[in-house]
Each structure stands twice: as structure tokens, then as C-alpha cells.
Structure 1
Amino acid sequence: MMNTQTIDLYAQLNVPRNGATGGYLHAYVPNRSKETVKKTHPAIIICAGGAYRFLSDREDEPIALRFAVLGYCAFTLEYTVNAAYPVPLIEACMATAYLREHADEYCISPTHIGVLGFSAGGNLAAMHATLFAEKEVQAALGAHAQYVRPDAAVLCYPVATLDICTHGESCEVITGGDKKLRDRISPEKRVTKDSAPAFIWHTYEDDGVPVENSLLLATAYRKAGVPFALHVFEKGWHGMSLCNAIVSNQTAADVEMYHVGKWFDLAIDWLAAHGFRLEVAGEK
């Protein structure tokens, strides 16, 4: 009942690669059942973390499968690592444009396409939610650029600032060491009334990406008048992913923190409140 495939976004949208090694979208899409009426699915694009140096497999397929069993069309984005702005952002925007332009093919609601990211992937998802109209995106995607804004963002312990509380390595890679880029592409400084609504979660104890990242971003959302939800768990370290036996080493410390995994159900409920639901096609 599951259709898995890999989509080369550069080829599909006819965008020159210019040396990019990523830009692939991996689909986890329910096949249409002959025994039920046609349904329209919400979609989620998942961006794993890894300091823009690698893509964490703990924050990739396991998350897609959790969404897929709930009726989502889930996609993991294999974005280019060790590449500075705007390459990863352009690839995230290509993913949204591709899904919106192929919504009928995947039985996706074109108005319910979200992006989710962890850590550095959370930085990418936050940029996607706030910087989707940047000149580099417009120049690279041309006519496709009108379809790139995500309808919601789920940001998991995100690198949401490139300022004093940032994650140094992620910041260095995405800016290419260009200090002038820090203010320009730092998500918490770029929230406007047009930014996508966001569900944000973090842990107080996170010593990899400080909780200030999420607090600053939530404050920016509040000032811009854009809907958001913020959850800060007291305990827990950086990179917890789903916080369950599938993505942990099942040590006593891991098991003690499994309650933090409630973030997933909270996010699903928040997305549902924003219209991300499985629906009978043609009905509202």
C-alpha cells in the first residue's frame, strides 16, 4: 500500500545543478485503494539535521513512516550538504513547488504542504518558512517560484538564529563563512506577516543548539502576528528525533526521556488544526 520513489528535483524543474550533489526527494506515498473512495492527503517534506555536513538517518525515514501511517504523503529531502546558501534553500523550495505542481498525481492537497526540520534541517525549514521569496529563489526557479511557500513548518530543536546563540558549525557551513549573510538569512530576523505558521519544540537542557534559538524565533513570530505553537521540554539532549526505541540506543537514560516524544502527537494535532487532514477528494 506504499509507493516509494526518488525524484530528481533539478531534472523535474529543469534547474541547472551547478555541482549540487543533492536535490532528491524520496517519496513515501500511500497507494490508492480500490476498496475506498479517493482521498486527498496532506503532505510533509522532512529535512534531517547533521550540521549541514551530513543527513542524520535517525531524522529521516523513521519520521516519514510515522507520517505516512497517518495518511500523509511524506517526503524526505536529500538536500546538498557542505554547501552554502542559497543551495539548500533552493532545493527545499523546489520540493514544495514540485509537490504543488504534481498535487493531482499524488492526491495531495495543494494548500496543505508542510515542511519539517531537525537542528540544521530545522534551520533549512525555518528559512523555507521565512525566506521563500528571496531573489536567489526567484532567479533559480523562475515561474516555479510562485509555488514555493510552505503552508506550515514544524521546527524541531532548530538552528533558528545565526547570531550569538547559534550552532557554530551549521552557521559556518550555511553562510560559507560570510558574516554579512548572518543577518540576512537568520530566520528569527526574517519573520514577516507572510511567513508560514510554525510549530516549534526544543528542550531546556539542549547544549548543542541552545533553547534560545526557539525562544527567539517564537518571539519574532509573536511580533509579526503569525500563528505559532511553542513547546519546551525541561529534560532532554540535542538530536532526540522521535524519542523512541527506533531512533535511540535504548539505554536507561534514553528510556527516561521517551516522554519527550509526545512532541509528535502535539505537532499532528497542531497541523490538523491548520487543515492538515485526510479528506475525501472533492469534499471540504
Structure 2
Amino acid sequence: MIYEKINISEVNSNLKDSKAFINAYIPDNSEEIDIKKKRKTIIICPGGGYSMTSDREAEPVALRFISEGFNVIVLRYSVAPNKFPDALLELAATMNYVRKMSEIWNVDKDKIIVSGFSAGGHLAGSLGVLWDREFISETLKVNKMDIKPNAMILSYPVITSGEFSHRGSFDCLLGEDASEEEREKLSLEKLVSKDTPQTFLWHTFDDGTVPVQNSLKFATSLKENDVPFELHIYPTGVHGLSLCGETSARKDKVNHINPHVGTWFKLAVQWLENI
């Protein structure tokens, strides 16, 4: 397996001041199996309220996806005091870079998926709804189609800036003094279009940090725009469950062990079979 840590400033020279980086996990192909195999690639955006990026939603998730045969990239994006659009530009640059590395990393360029947790779900979803905006392609000097995700997996995502907002995420993303109008411009359910990628979403009904209405609102907008999606609402479970098992549980947090909710991963992999 290839493992590399790459600074975003090396991924795209137009982000030379970025301190963000990616961790790339690229399984080797085998003569015995298929030396020319092209793999689906997952780009993971860990959560952390745009104030940090969680270890629990990074390498443990990467290793599970690798075990299912995917290439995996974990993006450790810029957080507060950095503001929008820094993290979004870093994710877009990562998407473009993965496509550029298709021959070296055996990437299927038409099957690159962004996966985000909590605020990382907001970041992943932001690329899904904003990938065709001029300010991104012009800043990075890239082709718009090279930064479009082919699909998204959003896990208990921050979506709305309205009534059910996780205000802390928007405070870190835009600054505490940002106006409601500025926040509304990044309320993702209002930005969905027919060009938004197909999406897999999951949430828990009683999430006390990021209300379940975030996923419901996004799913409703996808339906209104005829964008295919799969949505799973589990009856109970705390926020930030990640893989819902010991490999990703916070120390001494027994409520992070939730085998029923943990079925989301198998369901997501099954859903990806048709991407």
C-alpha cells in the first residue's frame, strides 16, 4: 500500500499559504488479482465544528474503507481562525489532485466520493452544491468538472444555518459577527440543484448536537431537485458516533458503541456499488 502525507500547498500552488494536508492510503494492485484495477476513491472530511478535525472520524474510517477495496484520502482542512472559503478551496484542490493522480494511484476518475462527518459533512456538502462556482475554479486555476464529486456520504451533517443550526460550526466558519444573511448563503439545503451529486445520508433521531432536521432538510431539497439519495434515520444515538465501535469511540464513552447504528457503514458500501 502507498501511504503519503502531502501538504495542500503541494497539491495546488495557488494555496501556497495553506497549512492543511492530506493523508493518502492507496492499496496496491496485484498481478494475481487485477494489476490494472481502477478503484473508487473516498475523500474523508472529519468533523470538529470547524474548530478542529477529529481523529475518530479520520484514520479509523479510512482503514475500514480500505478493507472494502477503496482508495482513501483524509483531508485535514483548515479550521478557525481560518474562515470560508479556505477549507472549501482545499477540498476542491484535493478532488482535482486525486483525478490528476489517476494513473499513479489507480483512480477511477468517474467514481470519486466525498464523505463528511458533522461539520466535515457541511464541507463535503458545500463542494457538492458549490462545485460549479467561478470563484473556486478561478482561484485554483482548474476545470470545474475536475472538482465535482461523483457522490457524497454525509454522516450526521451540519446543513442548515436556520432554526436547527449548529451555530458553533457557523461561528467558526464565518466568524461570530457574521450576519444571518451571510450564514444563509452557506445553508446547504438552499443551494441544492439538479447538478448536486447523488447522496447517502444518515443521522440519529435524538442527536442532541446537530438536530436530525439537518439531514431531513437536505434530503427534501434533493428530492425537490430530482437528485437520487438514500437516507437512514436511526432511532437513538449520540452525536459523533463515527463507526460506532471501539476503533473510533472516545475513551470512556460507552455510548459511542452502538452496533445498530454502526450498520450505516455496510449500507453505504452497498450503496456505492451502484455509483
Answer whether TM exceeds 0.5 for this pair: yes
Q: Secondary structure at the match of 1:153?
A: strand
1:254–1:146 Cα change, 3 Å: closer
- Distance in 2 (CA, whole Å) between partners of 1:146 and 1:229 is 24
- Which residue does the alignment assign to 2:15? 16
Which portions of structure 1, spanning 4 or more consecutive aligned residues, are displaced by more than 6 angstroms? none
- Which residue does the alignment assign to 1:121? 120
- Which residue does the alignment assign to 2:248? 247
- Distance in 2 (CA, whole Å) between partners of 1:12 and 1:259 is 38
Q: What is the 5 A alignment of 1:128-167?
A: 128-167=127-166
Amino acid at match of 2:53: L
Q: Is the 8 A contact 1:97 1:145 kept in 2?
A: no
Q: 2:33 matched to 1:32?
A: no
- Which residue does the alignment assign to 2:188? 187
- Residue 101 of structure 1 and its aligned partner are, at CA, apart by 1.4
- Which residue does the alignment assign to 1:222? 223
**What is the count of residue pairs matched by the alignment?**
270
Amino acid at match of 1:28: Y
Q: Is the 8 A contact 1:209 1:238 kept in 2?
A: yes
- Distance in 1 (CA, whole Å) between partners of 2:15 and 2:191 is 27
Amino acid at match of 1:33: S
- Residue 16 of structure 1 and its aligned partner are, at CA, apart by 3.4
- Distance in 1 (CA, whole Å) between partners of 2:147 and 2:105 is 17
- Which residue does the alignment assign to 1:265? 266
- Distance in 2 (CA, whole Å) between partners of 1:143 and 1:247 is 35
Q: Secondary structure at the match of 1:43?
A: strand
- Residue 11 of structure 1 and its aligned partner are, at CA, apart by 2.0
Q: Is the 8 A contact 1:86 1:136 kept in 2?
A: no
Q: Which blocks of at least 5 consecutive residues in structure 2 are unaligned?
A: none
Q: Is the 8 A contact 1:48 1:118 kept in 2?
A: yes
> TM (normalized to structure 2)?
0.94
Q: Secondary structure at the match of 2:202?
A: strand
- Which residue does the alignment assign to 1:78? 76
Amino acid at match of 1:25: I
- Which residue does the alignment assign to 2:178? 178
Q: Is the 8 A contact 2:237 2:261 kept in 1?
A: yes
1:152–1:188 Cα change, 3 Å: same
- Distance in 2 (CA, whole Å) between partners of 1:243 and 1:44 is 19
- Residue 9 of structure 1 and its aligned partner are, at CA, apart by 2.8
Amino acid at match of 2:112: I
Q: Is the 8 A contact 1:97 1:148 kept in 2?
A: yes
- Distance in 1 (CA, whole Å) between partners of 2:32 and 2:252 is 40
Q: Is the 8 A contact 2:8 2:19 kept in 1?
A: no
- Which residue does the alignment assign to 1:281? none
Amino acid at match of 1:269: Q
1:79–1:252 Cα change, 3 Å: closer
Q: Is the 8 A contact 2:205 2:235 kept in 1?
A: yes
Report the identity percentage: 36
- Distance in 2 (CA, whole Å) between partners of 1:115 and 1:226 is 16
Q: Is the 8 A contact 1:42 1:112 kept in 2?
A: yes
Q: Give RMSD over aligned pairs.
A: 1.5
- Residue 252 of structure 1 and its aligned partner are, at CA, apart by 5.3
Q: Secondary structure at the match of 2:38?
A: strand
Q: Is the 8 A contact 2:44 2:116 kept in 1?
A: yes
Q: Secondary structure at the match of 1:7?
A: strand
Q: Deviations over 1:195-222 (max 9, x none)?
A: 1111010001101000010000000001
Amino acid at match of 1:265: K
Q: 2:206 matched to 1:205?
A: yes
Q: Secondary structure at the match of 1:84?
A: coil
Q: Deviations over 1:145-197 (max 9, x none)?
A: 43000000000000011112111110111122422322222111100000111
